[in-house]
Amino acid sequence: MDLYHFGAQELATKAEDKRVHLRELLDISPFLNEAASAIVDDSFTRCFKSNPPEPWNWNIYLFPLWCLGVLVRYLILFPIRVVLLAVGWIVFLALFIPIHSILRGHDQLRQMLERGLVEFICSVFVASWTGVVKYHGPRPSRRPKQVFVANHTSMIDFIILEQMTAFAVIMQKHPGWVGLLQTTILESLGCIWFNRTEAKDREIVAKKIKQHIEDPEKNPLLIFPEGTCVNNQYTVMFKKGAFELGCTVCPIAIKYNKIFVDAFWNSKKQSFTMHLAQLMTSWAVVCDVWYMEPQTLQPNETPIEFAERVRDMIAKRAGIKKVAWDGYLKYYRPSPKLTEKRQQKFAEWVLPRLRKEDS
């Protein structure tokens, strides 16, 4: 009988211990939630990290060659490219300004000449990087009720596509000399600008898009539905706006070869001027561009499903991985200091309990 009571008491004690562990587990549930969030955040941040190539100048034989390459790139190639870019801009402005000012009453002729000049200056930019671009598929043409969508790695995506076809693009409004180009030269292409911080901009942009695609005389409309630059190894969620217009969607896949330079532009860490300088001091910018089969919304298919189907096509063609995160989260992530503080708080809470369990 005593043995029975002893066994019952031991079982009750174990049950009590289990309840304590369960209570403690529930107590740390906020930390578990934050830990899961950290895992998600880690998979998300990989989309926006530039992964430098492994150094190859690691021994006494290769290091002199690397030094020679640095001298060639910075002291020979870079000055030549700067001169080329400067001459290209002089020729471009010498022709663009008179055409833009004098041919005000001849819109069709003016727009045709301006399109040609924009393609010219974009070709000069690509030449200043020693761009090696291989285009696959038929060249885009102007047609009503169609929109082109592409994955987005850098603002140079637009330049590389523009040298082949004069697109009108939907793009974030930028400050500085890039913003000046947007409001002057690129405005002539019918480009549409937006500001992420202005909620009213969404309605205005949506109206402009619908007006643009209805006009057969307008330049083909190019949209980067990710809404932000991704490092060309992943593709984040496509915004559905381009896929609920009731028009044909033409996918474009862009894949950069990192053998000479990483073309990813992290706008939070680097200005576009510094990004261009990085490209102009590299050996070359190498990439492939695929113009893929036009797609339309299928019966019983929602715009979100349509967007995912097109994203699947682009990801498969470019050989990049899909992730299910919204790219706009890039602009609203907490600071590293806050993350480190929460990690420290969790460590201070959990370590004494782990030591207690071990003892």
Burial of 212 (0-12, 13-18, 19+ CB in 10 A): buried
Helix (H) or strand (E) holding 289: strand 285-291
Residues 148 and 252: beta-carbon distance below 8 Å? yes
Which residue has tokens 């850098």? 154
In whole angstroms, what is the distance from residue 291 CA to residue 137 CA? 5
Backbone φ, ψ for residue 287 (5° rounding): -155, 165
Q: What are the per-10-residue average pLDDT scores of the chain (359 residues)?
A: 45 47 50 51 67 72 88 95 96 91 81 89 95 92 87 92 89 73 77 68 78 84 90 90 89 93 86 91 95 93 93 95 75 59 68 63
In whole angstroms, what is the distance from residue 47 CA to residue 50 CA? 9
pLDDT at position 20: 46
Please work out, in degrees rounded to the nearest 5, the angle formed at the alpha carbon of residue 243 by the alpha carbons of 309 and 302.
65
pLDDT at position 172: 75
pLDDT at position 42: 57
pLDDT at position 192: 82
State the sign of the Cα–Cα–Cα–Cα dihedral 197, 203, 204, 208.
positive
pLDDT at position 5: 45
User: Six-digit token pair at 43?
Assistant: 């998979």
In whole angstroms, what is the distance from residue 190 CA to residue 30 CA? 50
Per 3-state DSSP, the chain is made up of helix, strand and coil in percentages (nearest 5) of: 55, 10, 30
pLDDT at position 61: 81
pLDDT at position 269: 83
| Residue 270, amino acid | Q
pLDDT at position 50: 74
pLDDT at position 44: 65
What is the CA 230 to chain-centroid distance, rounded? 3
What is the CA 311 to chain-centroid distance, rounded? 13
pLDDT at position 350: 65
Helices and strands (H and E) in the chain: how many: 11, 9
Helix (H) or strand (E) holding 308: helix 303-318
User: Six-digit token pair at 41?
Assistant: 């955040």
pLDDT at position 333: 57
In whole angstroms, what is the distance from residue 71 CA to residue 84 CA? 19
What is the CA 356 to chain-centroid distance, rounded? 47
Other Cβ atoms less than 10 A from the Cβ of 107: the count is 10
Please work out, in degrees rounded to the nearest 5, the angle formed at the alpha carbon of residue 121 by the alpha carbons of 118 and 126.
125
User: Nearest Cα to 318, choosing from 273, 342, 288?
Assistant: 288
Residues 63 and 57: beta-carbon distance below 8 Å? yes
